[in-house]
Amino acid sequence: MRRTFIFSILTLALVLFCQDAFAYDYYVNGIYYRKVTHQDPGGGCGETTLIVVNNDYPNTYSGDIVVPAMETVNGGTYRVTYIGSEAFYGCTNLTSVTLPVNIVNIGFHAFAECPLLEVIDLPEGMKQINSNAFSSCPNLDYIFIHDTEPFFLWEDALADINDHVQIVVPCNCIEAFEADEEWEGIQLYDDCGNVGVVEAETATMVVYPNPVSEILTIEAEGLVTIVDMMGRTVKTLFVDDKQTLNVKELPSGFYFVKAGNEVKKVLVK
């Protein structure tokens, strides 16, 4: 039996606030926020945080959005903890969203119908993803998850996109996720090239050295794409067995090498 009902009650308790909710309270540096004071389990008011929300219809976020970990409004500084329901819904010109480490909840339809989104990078510490959070994003290729243990998924949180989006978990963590009933039936990949369920035996791509400072060797067959953390394609090449690539001119940071259904995370120093 799924834990949806029980967890829904617990979730409701976590998101009860000590004031009424409005569409948005503040607009700071291009982002709309609602300020909420969370209710302590024992009663009374706990921490006050900010939730990223929209500006009602039409939703006007566009370009590359960077959500800060902290924001100062009216003289107070607060953590940004939630991406609210429909926060980025229908943003046809939104190209990327960078999320801070504080984010624990992705709301219903939070990123739905954003046709230019290609990559979502979810920070470690996630608590839940709500239904249809990423639905109808035709160019979304990857969702990168940094938690090593599964967190709660509402029904259809990922299932409706899993036929075309590669959901990547940390290296050698696939079994932990697949053992959790909330993740049952979701095709997973990890960032050391493993693939969940029976497809694990098909992993053939090898990428080395890692980290790399100058020459990266790729052993694969077919089209290989290298993508940066913002989801931008920086290199596309056709590999026949083995090929080297000079990455010296690339900015330092993490990149993702994709060949077919395989994804590997590479650090360029």
On whether both 17 and 91 belong to a single domain, the answer is yes
Domain boundary pick from 200, 222, 243: 200
DSSP string, 8-26: HHHHHHHT-BSS---S-SE
DSSP string for the chain: --SHHHHHHHHHHHT-BSS---S-SEEETTEEEEEEEEEPTTSSEEEEEEEEE--SSSP---EEEE--SEEEETTEEEEEEEE-TTTTTT-TTEEEEEPPTT--EE-TTTTTT-TT--EEEEPTT--EE-TTTTTT-TT--EEEE--SS--EE-TTSSTTTTTT-EEEESTT-HHHHHTSGGGTT--EEETBS-BSGGGGGG---EEESSSBSSEEEEEEEEEEEEEETTS-EEEEEEEEEEEEEE-TTSPSEEEEEEETTEEEEEEE-
Give the tens place of pLDDT for each residue, 69-92.
Answer: 999 998 999 999 999 999 999 999
Q: Which residues contact 198 (CB under 8 A, 6 or more apart)?
A: none
Q: Regarding predicted confidence, which is higher, 185 or 138?
A: 138
For the cut 90, the answer to whether the pLDDT of residue 129 exceeds it is yes
CA distance 104 to 138: 25
The predicted pLDDT at position 128 comes to 96
Mean pLDDT of 252-264: 85
| Distance set, CA 147 to CA 56, 74, 156, 268 (Å) | 32, 34, 20, 22
Same domain for 27 and 130: yes
What is the structure's pLDDT at 59? 80
* pLDDT at residue 93, rounded to an integer: 95
Q: For residue 28, is pLDDT > 70? A: yes
123-127, 149-153, 198-202, 243-247: range with lowest mean pLDDT:
198-202
Query: What mean pLDDT is predicted for residues 222-241?
Result: 84
Res 203: pLDDT: 56
**Among 158, 175, 200, which residue terminates a domain?**
200
pLDDT at 8 over 50: no
Q: Residue 176 is part of a domain; what is its CATH number?
A: 3.80.10.10
Task: Identify the pLDDT of residue 1.
Answer: 40
Return the number of other C-beta atoms located less than 10 Å from residue 221's C-beta: 14
155 lies in the same domain as 24: yes
Q: Examine the domain organization and report whether 30 and 130 are in the same domain.
A: yes
Could you say which of 200, 222, 238 is where a domain stops?
200
What pLDDT sits at residue 13?
39
Q: Are residues 162 and 258 in the same domain?
A: no
Instruction: Provide the residue range defining the domain that includes 237.
Output: 204-268
Q: Per residue in 153-212, pLDDT tens?
A: 998 899 788 878 889 898 889 999 999 999 988 888 887 767 775 344 445 789 999 899
Of 98-107, 141-150, 187-196, 210-219, the least confident: 187-196
Measured CA to CA, the distance from residue 152 to residue 175 in angstroms comes to 16
Number of domains in the chain: 2
pLDDT of residue 18: 52
Structure tokens at 149: 């243990």
Return the residue matching tokens 């943003």. 91
* CATH code assigned at 235: 2.60.40.3080
What is the pTM (predicted TM-score) of this model?
0.71
| One domain for residues 227 and 102 | no
pLDDT tier for residue 45 given thresholds of 50, 70 and 90 = confident
Looking at the fold, whether 79 and 23 belong to one and the same domain comes out as yes
User: Phi/psi at 182 (nearest 5 deg)?
Assistant: -70, -20
